[in-house]
Amino acid sequence: MSEWKRAIVIGASGGIGGAIADALEEEGVSITRLARALSGDAHIDLEDEASIAAAAKQIADGSAPDLVIVATGLLHDGAHGPEKAIDQLSPEWLARNFAVNAIGPALVAKHFLPLMPRTGKTIFAALSARVGSISDNRMGGWYGYRASKAALNQFIRTLAIEHKRRNDRSIVVALHPGTVDTALSKPFQGNVRPGGLFAPDRAAVQLLDVLDGLKAPDSGKLFDWEGKEVQP
């Protein structure tokens, strides 16, 4: 972890994002925490591009970040949850899934990737999910979440190809953190096998260990918390 000089964590008010920011800070990395729940210069809303652009402008005034992590995601809210069948599909809920889980991280990349150094190892990472893998889908359901995470994985792949032309040592990846004890997973933790629910601080260390081990050829891929590639 100590190889990073300046890191940006978006979604730093959440369980995983906060734990990642804490872990990096303990290693002496200069951290900027951004989240929708934060105010002032620390505020960012992935459903509002003007907010993303404003946050990037603030970052541009300091040293260039060599690590940017988007630790955000939407699975349920007070009124909606993952769909179990097609008769539960709602255009509004599907659109919100895509706005938060796919379009938002892509817009973060639009504004933050140009701020990263043109030389040396840099990483832009976004939290995805194994359920976004089309080849791994054997259970069905969860239409909006699955499809939006699959879209995120495609964004990551496409961003990686373009950004490599700017810095051939850059890495753009998606990460599957497993099931972590956060508000996002809370309603579904009863289905998790024993030992399969991770504390946020453990998940943070696992993910940062994966990032530390990545090389330029890994760019554009999705990796789980053990560093194993998840096929699209």
Q: Read off the CATH number of the domain in which 77 is found.
A: 3.40.50.720
Q: Are strands 229-230 and 222-224 parallel, antiparallel or unpaired?
A: antiparallel
Helix 91-98 to helix 143-164 angle (10° resolution) is 30
Maximum pairwise Cα distance, the chain? 50
Using one digit for the tens of pLDDT, what is the confidence trace for 108-149? 999 999 999 999 999 999 999 999 999 999 899 999 999 999
Report if residue 70 sits inside a domain: yes
Q: Is residue 1, in this structure, part of any structural domain at all? A: no
pLDDT, residue 1, reads 45
Using alpha carbons, list the distances in angstroms from residue 152 to 122, 139, 221: 19, 20, 11
Residues of the chain with pLDDT under 50: 1
Provide the pLDDT for residue 176.
Answer: 96
**Containing structural domain, residue 171:** 6-230
| Structure confidence at residue 108 (pLDDT) | 98
pLDDT above 90 covers what percent of the chain?
87
Q: Is 48 exposed, middle or buried (0-12, 13-18, 19+ CB in 10 A)?
A: middle
CA–CA distance, 221 with 123 (Å, rounded to integer): 12
Tokens 């964590």: give the residue.
9
How far is it, in rounded angstroms, from Cα 207 to Cα 14? 15
> Does a structural domain hold residue 137?
yes
Instruction: Identify whether 52 is part of a domain.
Output: yes
pLDDT of residue 99: 98
Does residue 194 sit within a domain? yes
Beta strands 197-198 and 67-70 are: unpaired
- The answer to whether the CB of 221 falls within 8 A of the CB of 158 is no
Nearest to 195 by CA among 227, 228, 225: 225
Residue 150 phi/psi, 5-degree rounding, is -65, -40
Beta-carbon contacts of 205 under 8 Å, excluding residues fewer than 6 positions away, are 23
Give the per-residue pLDDT at 78. 79
SS3 161: helix
In total, how many domains does the chain have? 1
